[in-house]
Amino acid sequence: MSEDQKLLDLGTAVLRTEAEAVQQLADRLNGDFTAACHHLLSCKGRVVIVGMGKSGHIGNKIAATLASTGTPSFFVHPGEASHGDLGMIIPGDVVIALSNSGETGEITAILPLIKRMGVPLISLTGNPRSTLATEADVNIDVSVAKEACPLGLAPTASTTAALAMGDALAVALLEARGFTAEDFAMSHPGGSLGRRLLLHVRDIMHKGDTTPRVRSDASLRDALMEMTAKGLGMTAVVDEDDRIIGIYTDGDLRRSLDQGVDVHSATVAEVMTAGSITITPDRLAAEAVQLMDEKKINALLVADDAHRLVGALNMHDLLRAGVV
């Protein structure tokens, strides 16, 4: 067997072992899970996660996932908790403690103090008869048949199981609270999802003097000059009250030239596309993308409720804003 094949076989074995560990969790999920969810849903403060070593890294990730999905949460290192950080836990909080053995010294040392505060304690352990599991208000069994490590030493399948259980709790809470995509975006304003869900048309549209517009009696030449000056590949055609009566685009220009229209003598009203597709400034930028895709257009005029021109945008504006 080649060295490459041995590596592939080892990688495959690890993935199968960890997948089986997670599947076994799903098969034995029970009332302890729902009891933990009820404690977390009734939490008036924050969810505090504690864990040492690899369990601490998993705890950090679970805390981040909970916080981003509507459950205020943070991680506290149990070693530091014994030296002042326990003050971060206050009445009204809920503590989730992670320990595969359930006997981690730094965690068992602070159990009496957690119990004295009267905050609910949820444990995720691989040993339901351990000190941590028996002291907890609710213990969720995240034990695994074996680690993916050939030596059976490095936390692998056990940490994956704990991580998956943390995700299960977070998603169950998310659904129970009616947490929406917009709520998620509020926690992620710098991400692409946040930009798609928080940016409105008014935030990225060209407005005022940067919006291309000509009156209906303007010459086609003047319309072309306006299009060139504003650089959006089109111009709105408006009446004396700034109400949109049509649009003239680069595509219209190509059709005009194909038809032999005299650029110098024609008026824009003679060659414009009457009506025009518009969007209001309070709509989400993502909706502008969808509308442009549906109508197979590259630019949009923005109008108020009286159909007066208030702005314009094109696909380049949406790309720059990170909406596309």
CA distance 269 to 227: 15
C-alpha of 189 from chain center = 9
pLDDT at 179: 65
CA distance 252 to 255: 5
CA distance 291 to 63: 38
pLDDT at 313: 93
Read off the pLDDT of residues 65-91 as tens digits, 9 standing for 90 and up: 998 888 889 999 988 876 667 778 889
Q: What angle do CA 100, 101, 104 make, to 5 degrees?
A: 100
CA distance 124 to 141: 6
pLDDT at 138: 97
Which tokens belong to 128?
């339901």
Superfamily of domain 3-179: Glucose-6-phosphate isomerase like protein; domain 1 (3.40.50.10490)
- In terms of Cβ atoms closer than 10 Å to its own Cβ (0-12, 13-18, 19+), residue 242 is middle
Residues in the chain, pLDDT under 70: 82-84, 153, 179-197, 324
Query: Given strand 73-76, what is the order of strands in its sheet?
Result: 73-76, 47-51, 94-99, 121-125, 138-141
pLDDT at 70: 82
Quote the strand ranges of 84-150, DSSP E: 94-99, 121-125, 138-141
pLDDT at 2: 87
Q: What angle do CA 109, 39, 106 make, to 5 degrees?
A: 15
- Closest C-alpha among 100, 92, 18 to residue 52: 100
CA distance 270 to 228: 20
Read off the pLDDT of residues 180-190 as tens digits, 9 standing for 90 and up: 666 565 555 55
Give this prediction's pTM.
0.63
Q: What residues does CATH 3.40.50.10490 cover in the chain? A: 3-179
pLDDT at 74: 93
Q: What residues does CATH 3.10.580.10 cover in the chain? A: 201-320
CATH class of the structural domain 201-320? alpha beta
Residues 6+ positions from 257 with CB-CB distance below 8 Å: none
Please provide the size of the chain in residues: 324
pLDDT at 216: 87
CA distance 67 to 61: 10
